[in-house]
Amino acid sequence: MRWQDPALQSVYSAPGSELPGEFPFTRGISAEPKPWIMGQYAGFGTPAESNQRFRALLQAGVTGFSVVPDLLTKMGIDSDDPRAVGEVGRVGVAIDSLADIEILMDGIPLEQISQVRTTANSIGYIWAALFVALAEKRGVNPAEFGMFIQNDVLKEFIARGTQIFPPRASLMLAVDCIEYCAQHVSTWTPLAMSGYHIRESGASATQEVAFTFANARAYLDECVRRGMSVDQVAPTLFTFLAITPDFLPEVAKFRAARRVWAQLMRETYGAQEAASEQLRIFAFTAGSSLTAQQPLNNVVRASLEATAAALAGVQTMHVSAYDEALGVPTEAAATLALRTQQVIAFESGLTQTLDPLAGSYAVEQLTNELVESITALMGEIDERGGALACLESGLLAEELSAAAYRQAQLVESGERVVVGVNKFPAEAEPLEVFRIDEATEAAQVGAVRKVRAERNQPEVDSALARLSADVAAGQSVMPATIEAVRAYATIGEIVAVLEQHLGRWQPTDAF
């Protein structure tokens, strides 16, 4: 029973105007309201510790969750590597081999989960292989559950920086994963075209969407070059965008992104299927809008951001926890973030009307302006040789660095107000923060060594030899990677084999 009176219609429109579910999908990809998938980002410590958190989240009513690998896992480094000291299980869960995935997902029925997301990018292809192998061992058809692999390695070169190999080689590995999924598990999302990290690195809304779609074009062009049709690939994709406190422009951004994508698919790629033109959005409240000062204010910021996404219409949402500027979220903070989504979704009535801000002079004009600026910037990137060329030259990183500096100055000067920071500062009680158990590192190092000691080594060697041969021959790495993870080869071992052929990315000292 809602509070509202009169009853809400699912669609309001002016005669002859664009309707939700109609090309170019400015007003949403569906003609009927659908609740978004509520996911929360979680993962820390050992696989067993994360497994407990996932079970608690499922109990609390999430319909999808995100497995966050630790930094080492994201970068293809095993927990017992000398570079690993101090990083094991810090900002995500430590995963070294299939043995860890088995513990991580223990007691969680895969087929009941609508969406398992992961922030694996540089190792997206290994992540896909791990869950294919897990499903196989459990006797579950991988198509029965949803796997959502970020796998957008190109944006790592612009923002966040977990890239392992040089850009072109990284692109090929990402497309190996996309290709495998499109052919074998089309229910999976093998690429989340990610603007979130780009935005978080200082980009404007225009840059966020334009850089993201430019990267997406690099993947799609390679898919097409390999003989896939755009209609085979595009419907499996999601985009992953930030929601900043910039309320109305953010509502407009999601609408604009849908329109630009639909036009790109139809006009540039000749998509035939409506599903290719329908941009599915995963919206994530901006971590950079959170402050360490007066952290409870972050609850309000995240609520506003989530409301903007709800008004714009998205398929999946994540709300950040209020203590994220201080550390990995506590369970209480993570639960409150989920409750925030639930209050908006189930109490506000916002989910019952599609694109309710359509027709607002402000939102429509902002949408049109963003469509124009995004399209223009994508055109510029195209003229400069496309995303790959622009990221090899460092152009995109330089633009973001300059934009981040400008934004920092706006906050510094007080031109951009951040409550509790540059306006209304006050002492706040220190918050209880989540502590990583210091025993995690030793436990995980012991675990990976035990896996290596107990596995069938000839099986591992033969799989890694096949991987080496396949990558040398320019073939997809997926079949050999699946074989290798099945035999309990570690992620670090797989990456080391590839590195012999692909080389390693070198950092730059430009700022």
Q: Which is nearer to another protein, 69 or 146 (CB)?
A: 69
Size of the site for another protein (CB under 8 A): 48
Give CA–CA dist 168/177, Å, rounded.
15
Question: What is the contact mask toward another protein in residues 309 to 348, using x (rule: CB under 8 A)?
Answer: ---------------xxxxx--------------------
Name which of 285, 196, 207, 277 is nearest 245 in CA terms.
285
Tokens standing for 466?
């096949």
Query: Is the CB of 156 or the CB of 250 nearer to another protein?
Result: 156
Tell the smallest beta-carbon distance from residue 412 to another protein (Å): 5
Stretch that binds another protein, among 144-152, 229-237, 286-294, 373-381 (CB under 8 A): 286-294
Q: Among 31, 436, 443, 496, which residue sits at the site for another protein (rule: CB under 8 A)?
A: 436
CB 246 within 8 A of CB 366: no
Least distance (Å) between residue 62 CB and another protein: 24
Closer residue to another protein (CB): 159 or 358: 159
Distance in Å, CB of 202 to another protein, minimum:
6
**Segment 407-426, which members bind another protein (CB under 8 A)?**
408-409, 412, 418, 420-422
- Least Å distance, CB 290 to another protein, is 7
Q: How far is the CB of 91 from another protein (least distance, A)?
A: 5
CB nearer to another protein: give 432 or 454. Answer: 432
Instruction: Tell me how many helices (H) and strands (E) the chain has.
Output: 20, 8
If 0-12 CB within 10 Å is exposed, 13-18 middle and 19+ buried, where does residue 62 land? buried
CA distance to 19, 141, 360, per residue, from 14 (Å): 9, 46, 11
Q: Which of 13, 52, 186, 291 binds another protein (CB under 8 A)?
A: 291
Q: Which is nearer to another protein, 278 or 285 (CB)?
A: 285
- Binders of another protein among 193-252, rule CB under 8 A? 200-202
Q: Which is nearer to another protein, 220 or 242 (CB)?
A: 242
| Contacting another protein within 67-126 (CB under 8 A) | 71-72, 75, 77, 83, 85-87, 90-91
Q: How far is Cα 57 from Cα 79, in angstroms, rounded to an integer?
A: 26
Tell me the closest approach of the beta carbon of residue 362 to another protein, in angstroms: 30
Residues 356-415 that bind another protein (CB under 8 A): 400-401, 404-405, 408-409, 412
Dihedral in degrees, nearest 10, Cα atoms 412, 305, 20, 197: 60
From the list 229, 199, 193, the residue with the least C-alpha distance to 212 is: 193
Select from 108, 52, 45, 98 the least CA-distant residue to 328: 45
**Six-digit token string for 34:** 């659908």
Task: Report which of 343, 323, 341, 318 is spatially closest to residue 333, judged by C-alpha positions.
Answer: 323
| All residues at 6 or more sequence positions from 299 whose CB lies less than 8 Å from its CB, including other chains | 322, 336, 340
Report the nearest approach of another protein to the CB of residue 321 (Å). 13
Task: Give the interface segment with another protein, choosing from 45-53, 59-67, 102-110, 291-299 (CB under 8 A).
Answer: 291-299
Residue 305: strand, helix, or coil:
helix
What number of CA atoms fall less than 13 Å from residue 447's CA on the CB side? 25
Q: What length is written for the chain? A: 511
In whole angstroms, the minimum distance from the beta carbon of 95 to another protein comes to: 15
Edge-to-edge strands, sheet with 37-42: 147-149, 115-118, 64-67, 37-42, 316-318, 281-285, 238-243, 192-194
The stretch among 6-14, 47-55, 290-298, 342-350 that binds another protein (CB under 8 A) is 290-298
* Minimum distance of another protein from residue 71's CB (angstroms): 5
Nearer to another protein, 114 or 293 (CB): 293
SS3 194: strand
Residue of 50, 190, 53 lying closest to 120 (CA atoms):
190
> Measured from the CB of residue 283, what is the shortest distance to another protein in angstroms?
20
Least spacing, CB of residue 297 vs another protein, in Å: 11
Which residue of 97, 162, 194, 444 would you call a contact of another protein, by CB under 8 A?
162
Q: Which is nearer to another protein, 5 or 415 (CB)?
A: 415
The residue type of 370 is: L
Contact status, residue 287 vs residue 245, Cβ threshold 8 Å: no
Compare residues 202 and 356 and give the one whose CB is closer to another protein.
Answer: 202
Please report whether residue 286 would count as binding another protein according to CB under 8 A: no
Q: Please pick, from the candidates 156, 208, 250, 305, the single residue that binds another protein as defined by CB under 8 A.
A: 156
DSSP symbol at 460? H
Tell me the closest approach of the beta carbon of residue 509 to another protein, in angstroms. 4
The Cα-based distances of 463 to 101, 127, 358, 460, 497 in angstroms read: 19, 17, 55, 5, 11
In 309-419, DSSP assigns E strands to: 316-318
Closer by beta carbon to another protein, 262 or else 290: 290
Backbone torsions φ then ψ of 430, nearest 5 degrees: -65, 145
Residues of the shown chain interacting with another protein in the complex, contacts defined by CB under 8 A: 71-72, 75, 77, 83, 85-87, 90-91, 156, 159-162, 200-202, 288, 290-293, 324-328, 400-401, 404-405, 408-409, 412, 418, 420-422, 430, 433, 435-436, 507-511
